[in-house]
Structure 1
Amino acid sequence: MRMTFMLPALLVAVGYSAAPFALGAERQTLTLAQALQRTLQHDATLQTFPYQLRMAEAAQLQAAVTPNPELAVTLENVAGTGDNPGLSGAELSLSLSQQIELGQKRERRLELALSQSQLQRDNYELARLDALANTAGHYLQLLRLQQLQLWASAKISREQTLLNTAQLRSNAGTLLDADISRIKLRLLRSKITQADINQATESQRYRLAASWHAVPDFTQVNGELAVLPQLPPLSMLQSQLQRSATLQRFVTLQRIAQSQLRLTEANSQADMRWSAGLKRDQASNETSLLLGVSLPLNLTDPNQGQRQAQLAEQQLLATQQQLSATQLTLLLQQQWLNLQQLRDTVQAIETQLLPEANALRQLSLLGYRQGQIDILNVLSAEEELAQAERELIESQSNFHLNLLQLERLTGQPLTLDSTKPVITVEKQHD
């Protein structure tokens, strides 16, 4: 059985055009696109962000609100004594006042609200990448276990064939019973290993389905570890890293800090208030116009401590961004070098180790049939071949897992059109 595995181009996509996943026996294979689509639709963390974005939009509406005018009514000289009893000397004042915000306070509030809204989108992008990378990682692990199932079956098949050959020789009286027991013991160990792999595969199916909070309705995943994508140059990856969601979030945080500082500076400027109204003097039967303007005198800066704290926060964010960029650059270089090494390892196993192990096995079987070597040498050759096959599967799997981490760092798909097919484990017969 051969499978198609196209992980990288799908990791960072926002949406997918894959057809809905059909339930039932007619649809038992899960593709990566379907797994990622389900994660986007049902991941618990991602489901909270639409509400948080609505809250951010509401904050923008609130930031645009301006002060409302005030209506004031004042009644003086009421219930007096002497010449002005009751309301005869009352003075009624009716005024309308309006606060005028100075220092572009409204614009600064809107600027801060927009930056905070962008931060929510940045947080969503990071959470989305984490969720997709987590699902893709579980998908890769399940694909690896499926390959190990094929490997275990091929190993058991070869050992069963060897046991049949040994039993024929034992019936002819040319083989000791202890040699038969050794082969049976090796076969028993292989079956135990196969059972462990089968159990791990079943657990991994549930672990993958838990990414979208469901039970698995698939029996296997679709993919091929043997195809190792070519990588872009390291310089291109470093350029992509500078535009990654992780570093862009620091840019947004710095903008928020700058907006907060500008808003603090705007709030340090006092607002002006004007008022206009009418005054009625009941005693003199006169009505007059009232006009007024008030402007607080800020003899000291009321926000000087807050301004200093915000300046320090900006410096802290700049330092954190620089340290994070350096750390991520070093990690990216490490992952890139690991991928190059894993590609060389896979190639060495394919072109050198596996051919030698196969040749050793064939020579051992031939020598065993001719009575030139004992069963221990044959079992050793079988183990060398099985170990080489498993090392190939593990190296291929590690390549894709490292590639996944590299994509998570850059936030970009890294697959180029050129790929390198590598040998797959197949069932062998004598």
Structure 2
Amino acid sequence: MKKKLMTGIIAALLLASPIVMPTVTEAASVEDLESQKAELENKSNDLNSKIQSQEETLNNLESEKANLESEVEKLQTDIDAVVLELKAQEQKLADSKAKIEKLKVEIEKLKDLIAKREEKLEHQARSVQTDGNTTNMVELVLSADSLSDLIGRVGVVNQLVSANKDIVTQQENDKKEVEKNEQAAQEEKVAIESLKSEIEVNKNNLVAQKAELDDKIIQVATKYDMTESEKNQFVKEQAVIATQTSVLSSELQQERQRIIAEEEQAQAAAKKAEAEAEAKAAQAEAKQTANSSSSNSSKDSSSTTAPSSSPSSSNSSGFIKPSGGYSTSSYGYRIHPITGVNKLHGGIDFGGGGPIVAAQSGTVVFAGYHSSWGYYVKIDHGNGLQTLYAHMVAGSLLVSPGQHVSQGQQIGTMGTTGSSTGVHLHFEVYVNGSRVDPANYL
């Protein structure tokens, strides 16, 4: 589009020049003519330079667009893999629940059988206590009329003893079977809880990868300087490419859209709740500061007070390093490595690679994708204290919003997503919504 516009401008200038030149020749000296000729040549060179630059830009954009289509296909493949894994996990979850229900039925049957045997044994015990004793058993044997009668009576006694012994043995075996089934049911419940967490994490990764895909498409559309309608059309074209690339059935594609819609709503609600909590914390802090100032001003200047402790000056928070990497950039103002602008670097960068762990236990408030931070996680530790971990590897998020994490638990892997020049972890600490130097906590 812009290429055609530039070509049109050149053509207009070339057509206009024969008309202007005779007038200039008649009205000006040779020196003026040479000067104007040189000026026209300079303008022509500038124009050619601009056209060449514009062509290079357009070629670069075309290359970037081609790369985008390749990335769209790759991301769509990753998204498909997550959806298929989710489907398999949900089937496994359904199987586990069915297994638990079956175990419950078996346990109830065994318990009922055990109860009936217990009742029978108790009845026999009461009969022996009231109607018989060991003397009766001896008399039963001694009162035999003959040897054959004696053998028969001894056999009856043995049968009675053996029958009760078998009942007791079976009773013990069934009780052990109940314990075994209950243990299996408990293990299955633990497996289900673990599986549910994995499903939540995979759903969250699915939404994050979809967000990265959308972000890349919009970035390229913005660089093309498209109108809103052109941008919408471009987004639709990329969506068609993604759909054509997808190996999912129409049923699974609908399931994917349902999962994404639900997770996006949940993340939006989590963000809103976090913003409200930060606003309340900030108001409480401002009120506390005002009260503290009022209280201090009313005290005698000669009185001594203990210095108040602040999170930024205290190392008693019990934080651990979020990665095993070495520090490559500290908190403070610096020249941004990408934009070249002098701005605040609101955290500490750790180079190297490998796992990223929670610096302290807390609740995950966000785990997703951002155009600048890439894949990142934010954890709330209570008392207005939060930490942020950015630039993780795509699809490496191991936690989801609302999940409780313990100190040292892995939450992701160091990467270079978002605005990043290499593999590293960008780590931030927030106190009541404001960034502070993380060095004071590590």
TM-score when normalising by structure 1: 0.29
TM-score when normalising by structure 2: 0.29
- Give the structure, 1 or 2, with the largest relative contact order (CA under 8 Å, sep 6 or more): 1
